[in-house]
Amino acid sequence: MHGWAGKVLDIDLSKGAIKNYPLDEETARLFLGGRGLGARLLWDAVGPGVAPLSPENVLIFATGPLTATGYQTSNRFSVSTKSPLTGTVLDANSGGYWGMQFKKTGYDALIVRGRAPAPVYIEIKDAGAKILAARHVWGQRVRATTQTLGQNNNKRNVLCIGPAGENQSRIAAIMNDGERSLARGGPGAVMGSKNLKAIVVEGTARPQVLDQEQFKFMLYEARKLLRQSPLTSQALPEFGTAVVLNIVNHIGALPTRNFQQSQFERAEAISGETLAEKYLVKNAACWACPIGCTRVSKTDKIEGALSGAEGGVEGPEFETTWAFGAQCGVDDLAAIIEANAICNDLGLDTISAGSTLGCAMELTEKGLLDSDLRFGRADLLAPTLEALGARRGLGAELADGSLRLAKKYGAPELSMSVKGLEMPAYDPRGLQGQGLLYATSNRGACHMRGNMLGLEVLGLPKLIDRFQVYGKSSYVILHQNASAAIDSLVVCKFTNLGVAEEYFARTLSAVTGVKYATGDLIRVGERVWNLERLYNLREGFTNADDTLPPRLLKEPVSDGPSKGWVNQLEPMLKEYYRARGWDERGVPRRAKLEELELGAL
Amino acid sequence: MATVRLFGGLRRRARDPKISVDGVTARDVLASLCRDNPGLHAVIWDGARVRDHVRGLIGGQAIELGRGLATRVTADDEIAIFPPIGSGGNTT
Ligand code: SF4
């Protein structure tokens, strides 16, 4: 095969068995790699009713046909599993170096099954894989584990869990290359439940490209387009993702104090502009990325074990800044940088961690929970996160996310989540389409399964009315399908700000020799979306789960530019099901499944 | 006089992130802003039109979805101008 390595590595930790087999060519054509391939393998591997933290669940690490080819941002990879936070299908993806290095060991995907009797790590080299004892790193934090196991960016790359994953926090991330994360939905807990501390990869095999000449031309085109776009050549390198905070706040869509308000009066203090002015050390980039959106920042609060070589830490990204900032009513950017560094070192999803803290703050202020947590208490972020990672005291309850916490204290409506996954940093009352996107996202509320921010706020590629309700579903569907396709290639979504899908399709054809027109690529995304939907239906999810927290449907925004608005989900949802070719209960119709070559499922 | 607030890289090109500017319409305000702060001209204007991806908001609402550059501006208005922003989050 060209593009694909053509092999799957399959490790059963219960039996200590390691095998490999060829990647099915038809599956590769239909689902590409990454998220799509992961969903297809998961469909067969984890049937209905499996407990996510039992040995019967699996972890599937998957790259795509473009991974490691050297194409711009061809560094990314994904993990797929059944989520211990939501019970839905889950995939999370990450950048850095690990994905590229794993592909170079000669595999497209790794399936990890079972549970090791004692802590282990897996080492994969060209010559094969080994299961090794991990007693010496079990209990260590992420940065220490990564160093101990020999991280060396271009040669040997470490993916691991921290204490949060070992303690099976349902919001635990898997970390790679030190500070990159497969964050959402709790994949770190699944890895912890398997007694698997780390996966170390070292490979030398570059994937084969069929049409070298055309591939070189596509590389040249992408370089030119990324340079021409003011978004990828200036905006992202200069301010990273955090620059978006001010505009989201300005329009009245920045959820504040657990979504009680939609504007944060201290937004300027935690904005991307302030980050750049006061704390930025330098930019960094993932492998083969000319954009370099990553921030490295530094404050007095992060020293010693928490900080990297130059005393700095990666991030914080916009979502993280919001989660520990506006969501918790905190205006101390240094404390937010510290919270981000602690999450990365414990191996925690920053969005879910921050949002769960915000939920606990509201529960406390409403007299439902007895704790010290209050909105604005920047001083409590670090110690609370440490307790969460260790499952100590109140931390043991926070460790399972906001929905379980809020249910326990009698107010599930105060969890700002969809299907149990905490919502990111956009208030769906001020961005109607974003609300539909959150409600229908297969892994729970997510801004990476398509993002309406571009259309509803930034005008990318054009500006549409953010309060418009009718007609929104077609935009949402387009974005969801495109993002599923990009997650299956796998490249970084930021590339898509400069390079259109047509270029990805032409590159894919040049690399693999399989002809993909733009429509074929988007069709892969639609296929993946429908397969994920089928997985959730098989697990017992229904259209009743396609919803938003009651606050966003019933409590109008009290002030600011979104004043008076709730999210008008119902008419959008009806339109959405119809446009997707699903019935009124949100079940894909047979004709749609046949059209997508999913009829056999 | 309306108040103009600048964001992102626009701040480096102006004397202040928050500036009071005269003008009857949004077009007047932008023109006079760029006259006083010439460094802003090339990043805001593309000939007679505002550059793609530069966003102007009055009271949190997009100017271009209303009456565009002809929008009338009062002394109480705050006009926010954002340079191209390429984002949407990246924690996955
Ligand atoms: S744009 Fe940012 S996240 Fe994407 S590959 Fe480049 S550095 Fe990594």
**Residue A374: inside a domain, yes or no?**
yes
> B66 touching A, CB under 8 A?
no
Lowest mean per-residue pLDDT among A446-455, A560-569, B49-58: A446-455
**Residue B36: inside a domain, yes or no?**
yes
| Full residue range of the structural domain in which residue A393 is found | 240-419
pLDDT of residue A304: 66
User: Do both A132 and A159 map to the same domain?
Assistant: yes
pLDDT of residue A315: 82
Count CB neighbours of A308 within 10 A: 17
Rg of chain B taking only CA atoms, in angstroms: 13
> A36 touching B, CB under 8 A?
no
**Residue A219: inside a domain, yes or no?**
no
**Residue A2: inside a domain, yes or no?**
no
User: Do both A26 and A125 map to the same domain?
Assistant: yes
pLDDT of residue A310: 67
**A395 to A118, A335, A384: CA distances (angstroms):** 25, 19, 7
Q: What is the mean pLDDT of chain A?
A: 96
CB pairs under 8 A between A and B: 127
Lowest mean per-residue pLDDT among A145-154, A290-299, A524-533, A552-561: A290-299
Q: Between chains, do A235 and B89 touch, taking CB under 8 Å as contact?
A: no
**A435 to A204, A453, A479, A566, B28: CA distances (angstroms):** 44, 11, 14, 10, 36
pLDDT bracket for residue A314 (50, 70, 90): confident
**Sheet (strand A17-22) strand order:** A17-22, A7-12, A109-113, A59-62, A77-82, A89-94
The DSSP bridge pattern shows strands B2-6 and B78-82 to be parallel
User: Do both A182 and A262 map to the same domain?
Assistant: no
CATH number at residue B67: 3.10.20.30
**Residue A397: inside a domain, yes or no?**
yes
Residue type, A367: G
Q: In the block, which residue shows the tokens 């290639």?
A: A489
Domain-ending residue, one of A419, A448, A476: A419
Rg of chain A taking only CA atoms, in angstroms: 22
User: Do both A254 and A187 map to the same domain?
Assistant: no
Of B11, B84, B92, the CB nearest to A94: B92
**Residue A233: inside a domain, yes or no?**
no
**Residue A131: inside a domain, yes or no?**
yes
Å between A46 CA and nearest CA of chain B: 22
- State pLDDT tens for residues A48-91: 999 999 999 999 999 999 999 999 999 999 999 999 999 999 99
Write the CB contacts of A412 (distance below 8 Å, at least 6 apart in sequence).
A403, A406
**Residue B16: inside a domain, yes or no?**
yes
Compute the distance between CA of residue A221 and CA of residue A506 in angstroms, rounded to an integer. 11
Nearest residue on chain A to B79, alpha-carbon basis: A250
Three-state DSSP class for residue A162: coil
User: Do both A373 and A470 map to the same domain?
Assistant: no
Closest residue by Cα to residue A489 from A78, A87, A162: A78
pLDDT of residue A554: 98
User: Do both A366 and A267 map to the same domain?
Assistant: yes
Three-state DSSP class for residue A393: coil
**Residue B6: inside a domain, yes or no?**
yes
Count CB neighbours of A179 within 10 A: 21
The total domain count for chain B is 1
Q: Which of A71, A73, A97 to mutate to test the pocket of ligand 1 (most atoms within 8 A of CB)?
A: A73
CATH number at residue A457: 1.10.599.10
DSSP state for residue A461 in the 8-state scheme:
S
pLDDT of residue A326: 98
Residues, chain B, total? 92
pLDDT of residue A239: 82
Of A181, A183, A252, the CB nearest to B60: A252
User: Do both A345 and A302 map to the same domain?
Assistant: yes
Q: Is the pLDDT of residue A125 over 60?
A: yes
Nearest residue on chain B to A561, alpha-carbon basis: B60
**Residue A107: inside a domain, yes or no?**
yes
Q: String of b and e for A118-141 (b: at least 16 CB within 10 Å)?
A: ebbbbbbbeeebebeebeebbebb
Ligand 1 center to A287 CA (angstroms) = 8
* Averaged pLDDT for residues A173-178: 97
The DSSP bridge pattern shows strands A109-113 and A7-12 to be parallel
User: Do both A352 and A255 map to the same domain?
Assistant: yes
Tokens of A440: 């229908």
**Residue B88: inside a domain, yes or no?**
no
Domain-ending residue, one of A381, A402, A419: A419
Cα four-point dihedral sign A176, A179, A183, A189: positive
> B13 touching A, CB under 8 A?
no
Residue type, A513: G
Of B57, B65, B86, the CB nearest to A231: B86
**Residue B58: inside a domain, yes or no?**
yes
Which residues lie with the beta carbon below 6 Å from any ligand 1 atom? A 73, 75, 95, 285-286, 289, 291-294, 492, 494; B 90
> B74 touching A, CB under 8 A?
no
* Averaged pLDDT for residues A475-502: 94
Tokens of A274: 């302030």
User: Do both A442 and A473 map to the same domain?
Assistant: yes
Q: Is A185 exposed, middle or buried (0-12, 13-18, 19+ CB in 10 A)?
A: buried
- State pLDDT tens for residues A19-29: 999 999 999 99
Q: Which residues of B touch A561 (CB under 8 A)?
A: 59-61
| Full residue range of the structural domain in which residue B38 is found | 2-82
Q: Which residues of A touch B91 (CB under 8 A)?
A: 181, 183-184, 317, 319-320, 349-351
CATH number at residue A346: 1.10.569.10
Compute the distance between CA of residue A272 and CA of residue A280 in angstroms, rounded to an integer. 10
The total domain count for chain A is 3
Beta bridge partners of A416: none
- State pLDDT tens for residues A183-194: 999 999 999 999
**Residue A225: inside a domain, yes or no?**
no
Query: Is the pTM of the predicted complex or chain greater than 0.90?
Result: yes
Q: Between chains, do B53 and A459 touch, taking CB under 8 Å as contact?
A: yes
The DSSP bridge pattern shows strands A280-284 and A196-202 to be unpaired
CATH number at residue A165: 3.60.9.10
Q: Is the pLDDT of residue A345 over 50?
A: yes
Beta bridge partners of A199: A122, A159
Helix and strand totals (H; E) in chain B: 2, 7
DSSP string, A107-159: -SEEEEES--SS-EEEEEETTEEEEEE-TTTTT--HHHHHHHTT-BTTTBEEE
pLDDT of residue B92: 35
Mutation site for B-interface testing, chosen from A35, A93, A234 by largest number of B Cβ within 10 Å: A234
Tokens of A481: 């399908």
* Averaged pLDDT for residues A565-570: 98
**Residue B91: inside a domain, yes or no?**
no
Contacts 24+ apart (CB under 8 A), A452-455: A452/A476, A452/A479, A453/A244, A453/A248, A453/A426, A453/B87, A453/B88, A453/B89, A454/B88, A455/A479
**Residue B65: inside a domain, yes or no?**
yes
Compute the distance between CA of residue A526 and CA of residue A519 in angstroms, rounded to an integer. 10
Q: Is the pLDDT of residue B89 over 70?
A: no
Contact A148, A140 (CB under 8 A): yes
Of A272, A317, A561, the CB nearest to B89: A317
- State pLDDT tens for residues A381-425: 999 999 999 999 999 999 999 999 999 999 999 999 999 999 999
Mutation site for A-interface testing, chosen from B13, B50, B51, B92 by largest number of A Cβ within 10 Å: B92
> B61 touching A, CB under 8 A?
yes
Count CB neighbours of A282 within 10 A: 12
Closest residue by Cα to residue A293 from B31, B5, B60, B87: B87
Three-state DSSP class for residue A296: strand
Compute the distance between CA of residue A299 and CA of residue B22 in angstroms, rounded to an integer. 41
Q: Is the pLDDT of residue A469 over 80?
A: yes
Of B52, B65, B85, the CB nearest to A244: B85
**3-state SS of chain A: helix, strand, coil percent to 5?**
45, 15, 45
Write the CB contacts of A91 (distance below 8 Å, at least 6 apart in sequence).
A34, A35, A38, A39, A78, A79, A80, A81, A443, A487
DSSP state for residue A61 in the 8-state scheme:
E
Q: Between chains, do B7 and A247 touch, taking CB under 8 Å as contact?
A: yes
Closest residue by Cα to residue A316 from A279, A289, A262: A279
DSSP state for residue B72 in the 8-state scheme:
B
Q: Which residues of A touch B13 (CB under 8 A)?
A: none
pLDDT of residue A153: 87
Domain-ending residue, one of A201, A223, A254: A201
User: Do both A188 and A291 map to the same domain?
Assistant: no
User: Do both A150 and A255 map to the same domain?
Assistant: no
Q: Regarding predicted confidence, which is higher, A308 or B81?
A: B81
**Residue B87: inside a domain, yes or no?**
no
> B64 touching A, CB under 8 A?
yes
User: Do both A364 and A468 map to the same domain?
Assistant: no
**3-state SS of chain B: helix, strand, coil percent to 5?**
35, 30, 40
Contact A238, A230 (CB under 8 A): no
Lowest mean per-residue pLDDT among A112-116, A195-199, A357-361, A445-449: A445-449
In this prediction, what percent of chain A has a pLDDT beyond 90? Answer: 89
> B82 touching A, CB under 8 A?
yes
